[in-house]
Amino acid sequence: MTQDVFIYDAIRTPRGKGKPGGGLHEVKPIDLVVNQLNALRLRNSLDTSLVEDLILATGEPVDEQGQNLAKAAITYADWSDATTGAQLHRFCAGGLDAVNLAFAKIAAGIESLNCAGGVESMSRLGIGASGGAVSDPWVAWQSDFVPQGVAADLIANLNDFDREQLDTYGVLSQARATQAQTNGHFRSLVPVVDMNGVTILNRDETIRPQTTAEGLADLSPVFESYGALGYDELIKFKYPQIASLRHHHTQGTSSGIADGAALVLLGNQQAGKQLSIEPRARIVATALVGTEPTIMLCGPAPAARKALAQADLNIEDIDLFEVNEAFASVVLLFAKELELPMDKINVNGGAIAMGHPIGATGAMLVGSLIDELERRQLRRGMVTLCAGGGIGIATIIERV
């Protein structure tokens, strides 16, 4: 018998610029997590011995972000020894998948109170630090994997999204994020502090309020050089209708490289009562889909449909969507396929403006969505992300 699962809290760090010189570059991945663990405990007067599991996603589970970062952080943050922990990798979907997994275990009646989220210090680990099976020659031959930016450009080509449409979206993301920041809409944001409690970073660092369409039009396509390495040719094995790929995505229309962490506290009704905390939302349905792995970023729409079917809801029943802005074409494709107006999607901007700390983003979007549903007094929302290898993920939540 399944139980209702509630979100009792959802918090995130600000997103730092994911390069040396970025506001969170000096912070170790484990300290990003511990900042969040401390905040969660403090905000909820949490008896940590009641938290059964901490599931943490990261995109580069290696070196200082490696092994079982979750359990290491629990001990280091002086949470209860009774809390266990696990590391999870589902590329960009990891942060949300951690939440969904924690949800599933509670819904199944296995556990009562779990914590889930993700962390990524891209400024310290970079992209690709953990290698991967797909870079093996024999595996590569059979897999036709391409860099994500090339896949994003492929989406744009196949759907006739031109440079201008993408740039327009890029400007929108910046404008929305600027407004949300200015008006304090990001209520789930918790500043990162040092070992003395001194604030290190308290706001999303990469938003560019001055962004204009003209400015974006001047940027050069980022993935042209990747394509020229041979990936533009490789995609034709599966997409022979492409004569030569046109590269449209720039830094202004791709998610930024960022540092950050996020946590979500989930539990059944009884756990909330035991802790005397009120639920903020309920998880209605979750979905995972696999899609064609070369283009790889088309998962959100089918994942959304699958989640809706599971919840027995229609697309109109969802008031707001957080679609991770991995690339502008991913969001445009989602809106196109589900025939959605832009004023329901990413209303406070997204990763194009604020960056995409891979393993953390999914969990961050849960917090952002709850914040906005509460602010607008709306009922239901959906978080969805595309992820490497052709993965789509979605979660429907409703306020209670």
Partner 1 sequence: MGYIQLQKDADGIVELIFDQPGKSVNIMGEDYTQAMRAAVAQLQQSKETITGIYVRSGKPGQFFAGGDINRMLSMDLKMDTTEKEEMFNNVMLAKAPLRILETLGVPVAVGINGPALGGGFEIALACHHRIALRSTVIGLPEAQLGLIPGADGLVRTTRLLGIQKAMEVISQGRQYRAEKALELGLLDAVVDSEEDMHRAAKRWIRENPDATQPWDKKGFDLPGGSHSSKSIQQMLNFAPLRVKNKTRGLMPAQQVITAAISDTSRVDFASAQRIEARYFIKLLLDQTARNLMRTFFVQMNDLKKGASRPSEPAPSTVSHLGILGAGQMGAALAFCAARQGIEVTLLDRNQEVATRGLEYAKRCCEKDKRMDATRASELVARIHPAADYGALSTCDFVIEAVFEDRRVKAEVTAGVEAQLQQDTVFASNTSALPITDLADACNRPHNFIGMHFFSPAEKMPLVEIICGQKTSQEALAKAFDLAMQLQKTPIVVQDAPGFFTTRVIGATILQGAALLVEGINPILIENAAHFNGSPVGPLAIVDEISQATAYKNGKQNRLDLEARGETYVEKPANIAVRRMVEEFDRQGKAYGGGYYEYHEDGSKTLWGGLKEHFAPQGYTDIPFEDIKDRLMFSQVLEALRAMQEGVIKSAGDGNIGSIMGIGFPAHTGGVFQFVNSYGSRELLDRCRYLAERYGEEFEPPALLEELAETQRELV
Q: Give the binding site for partner 1 (CB under 8 A).
A: 131, 135-138, 140-141, 144, 229-231, 233-234, 236-237, 240-244
Closer to partner 1 by Cβ: residue 128 or 191:
128
Tokens read off for 373: 């549903």
Q: What is the nearest approach in angstroms of partner 1 to the Cβ of residue 294?
A: 12
Cα–Cα dist 206/135, whole Å: 31
Residue 330 C-alpha from the chain's centroid: 13
Length of the chain: 400
Closer to partner 1 by Cβ: residue 157 or 348:
157
Q: Among residues 89, 248, 249, 386, which one is catalytic?
A: 386
Q: What is the nearest approach in angstroms of partner 1 to the Cβ of residue 109?
A: 44
Q: What is the nearest approach in angstroms of partner 1 to the Cβ of residue 149?
A: 16
Q: What is the nearest approach in angstroms of partner 1 to the Cβ of residue 233?
A: 4
Closer to partner 1 by Cβ: residue 144 or 317:
144
Q: What is the nearest approach in angstroms of partner 1 to the Cβ of residue 139?
A: 8
Closer to partner 1 by Cβ: residue 212 or 244:
244
Closer to partner 1 by Cβ: residue 182 or 244:
244
Q: Among residues 92, 115, 248, 249, which one is catalytic?
A: 92
298 belongs to the catalytic site: no
Instruction: Give the active site residues.
Output: 92, 356, 386
